[in-house]
Structures are given as structure tokens and as C-alpha cells.
Amino acid sequence: MLTALVVSVVATTFPGLMALAAAMDLMTMTIPNAIPLALALGYLVLAAAVALPPATLAFGLSCGLAVLVASFLMFCRHWIGGGDAKLAAATALWLGWGAILDYALAAAIIGGVLTLAILASRAGPLPKILARRRFIARLCRPDAGVPYGIALAAAGLLEFPHSAAWLAAVG
């Protein structure tokens, strides 16, 4: 019974938080600190609930730390936002080293497509009906950034079924 509960919590927590991160980034161009924090705590709860082997836990933690360092350097260069850096690191905890390269590749591809779509939307005038939506008008401003959390969340959702955390939960 406990295993089924753990699997259902894991099956909803990670995807739910990733969807929330993407939606928040789209609507506000920010990812609240509570989302990566909840992801990190959720990973630790999962590790305890399914008694992840210490080596698996250590690999997840080391992957998250490595991604945090790499993404912090990207943040310092103004390549990504702080919320994106924290989201990528928290996602890396769940995915681990076995899925992190696929995650990075998927995020790059999805992010590239997202960026091209946003740049294309900025090429012409925005229809008045869309301009009334603040978040759409903000996205279409030439000086606005790209809500890359959408790409990070989508890539995380694509890789989640292959992650050490998911495989441990479904056992």
C-alpha cells in the first residue's frame, strides 16, 4: 500500500511542479524559489520513502550540485535567469547522471524552437486581441527575454520516465 502511495505521489509531484514552473515562467517571466525547493525536498522524501541506495542518492545529489554550479556560471554571464538555474539543478536531482545529457539536449532543442517562435512573434505587429493579454504583450516586446523555464520543464517531463528516481519508485 505504501509503495502505491509513493508511486502516485512521485507520479504527480514532479510533473505537477514542472508544469507549474513552466506556467509561472510563461505568465510572469519568473520561477518562484518555492518550486525548485519543493522539487529538491520531494526528491529527498522520495529517497527516504523508497530507501534509495546511498550510491544512487549520492549520484543524484552530485548531479544536482554539478548542474547548479554550471547553471550558476551561466546565470553570472546573463545567459539564463536565476530561476532557470535553480530549476535545472532541482530537476537534475531527480534525473541523475543517467539522464542528464539527454535532458540537456532536449532542453536545448525545445529552447531553440521556443526562442525561434518568440522571435517570429516579435517580427510583426501583435493583433489587438492578443495585445490585451499582459503576458503575451510582454513576450512580444523586442527587449524581453525568453521564458526558458518552459523548455527546462518540458525536457524534464520527457526524461522523467527514464530517471533513476522514477525507476526506483516504480521498482
pLDDT in tens, 75-109: 999 999 999 999 999 999 999 999 999 999 999 99
Q: What single-letter amino acid sits at 28? A: T
Q: What is the pLDDT of residue 6?
A: 67
151, pLDDT greater than 80? yes
pLDDT for 10 beyond 80: no
Domain ranges, residue 72: 2-170
DSSP line for 108-147: HHHHHHHHHHHHHHTSSPPPHHHHTSHHHHHHTSTT----
Cell of 14: 514532479
- Specify the pLDDT at position 168: 78
Based on the structure, what is the number of domains in the chain?
1
The pLDDT value recorded for residue 76 is 97
